Structure formats: C-alpha cells, structure tokens
Chain A
C-alpha cells in the first residue's frame, strides 16, 4: 500500500515536472512546481519521515512558493519569445541536458543504485534532533547564520536607492 502511494506520488511529480518544463506562462510554471513540491512531501511522508515532509510543506510549498508568486506578480509584461536560443546547435544542447539522465537510466538498469526497501527512516527520525545539535552542530549554526544573513540581504536589496 505504501509502495503504491510512493509510486503514485513519484509519477505525479514526474508528470508535473515535465509539464512545468514545457509551460510558457510563468504562473503555470509556479503552480506546477507547487504540485511537485507537494508530491515530494508525500514521498517523504510515506518513506517514514513525517518531520521532513511537514517542514517541506511549510517552508517550501508554504513560504517559498508564496514569495515566488508575489515576485511573478511584480514582473513587467512578458514578451513572446520565452525560449532561449543556446549557442550550441539544438540537438547538441538537448543531448547535453538529457545525457546525465540517460546515464542515470543506464546505471539504474544495471542495478548500480542502492537496492532494498528503506524503512529505516522512522527510527532515524527520533535521532534527528540529537544529530543536528550533536555532530552537526556547526553545520546547523552555519545554516542559521546563513538564513540570518539572507534576511539582512533581502532587507538591504529591497531598500529604495536614490
């Protein structure tokens, strides 16, 4: 049952991601991204890490997407040509982007990625706090500092300049 849920969430995420890549309108892009983020949260939940899933929804789908939508609203009128012409020929450009995907698919088919069904997340969830403020205390503090700096940066960037 959980397998099916994860599979469904994955499929929906892929569908919306491909949809997003092909949309012309920025709003549509943002909405598709929102859908992907929610599906990702679902995957996290069904893998047995509800904390990460909630945080994903709150921060990502909640705060970040709102800000994105607000910025889109503030954008001036869009012009017709939205697609960039890469300097390499089209075939090569597409190949360059899809090559990592192809290689990953090939590796996957050969079974090079970790196998098994992972239910260890729920047990690990309990330890997250201890890990975050134990061995990874420095990383946690650094990220906190980074968030503080980004807040300062945002304030400064949005000051009106003469």
Chain B
C-alpha cells in the first residue's frame, strides 16, 4: 500500500504537469495546477501519518487554504482576460501590452 500512495502522488503530479505543459487554454492550465497541488498534499499527509507528526497535518491544511486562495485569484484573472476580448489561451498572452 505504501508504494501505491507514493505512486499515486507522483502520477497525479505528472498528469498535472502534462496539463500545464501541453494545453493552451488558461483554464486547463489552472486545473493542472490544482491537480499538482493535490498530489503534493497527498504526499504531505501520508508522510505526516507515517511520522505521526501533527505539524505535517497542519501543513496540509495550510496548503489547502493557500491553494484555494490561489485558485480564486487565478480564476479572477482569467475572467479579466475574457472581458478584455482576447482569447483565453497562452498563445495570445505572449507579449506585454502597453
């Protein structure tokens, strides 16, 4: 079971990374980011359970909070991109605008 959890952690991380690298839509990239954070969280919690350490669990909680905040801001930014009329893809956002 031990291998399973670790394997799950890394596979989830790789999946999130591939979303981030290979998809153009900003939303897909954001979802990949969330997946990566979750994968990391699995690792943290499992490590905390192995060590019996409460600070590991606290860290996991804090990670959830931070990830939620970051997701919210990212979504707001994507909404701004929608509103500015440009397509929500990484290709369109290659150059700094004046």
Residues of A within 8 A of B (CB): 3, 6-7, 10-11, 13-14, 17-18, 20-21, 26, 29-30, 33, 36-37, 40, 43-44, 47-49, 51-52, 55-56, 59-60, 63-64, 67-68, 71-72, 74-76, 78-79, 81-84, 86, 93, 96-98, 100-101, 104-105, 108, 113-121, 123-128, 130-132, 135-136, 139-140, 143, 146-147, 149-151, 153-154, 157-158
B87 to chain A, nearest CB (A): 7
13 contacts between A and B (CB under 8 A): A10-B5, A10-B8, A21-B32, A26-B25, A40-B42, A52-B45, A67-B72, A84-B90, A86-B22, A100-B17, A118-B51, A121-B57, A136-B62
Interface size on B, residues (CB 8 A): 72
Q: Taking A3-B1, A76-B88, A117-B2 as contacts, is the C-beta distance between A131 and B49 under 8 angstroms?
A: no
Main secondary structure of the interface of B (DSSP, over half): helix
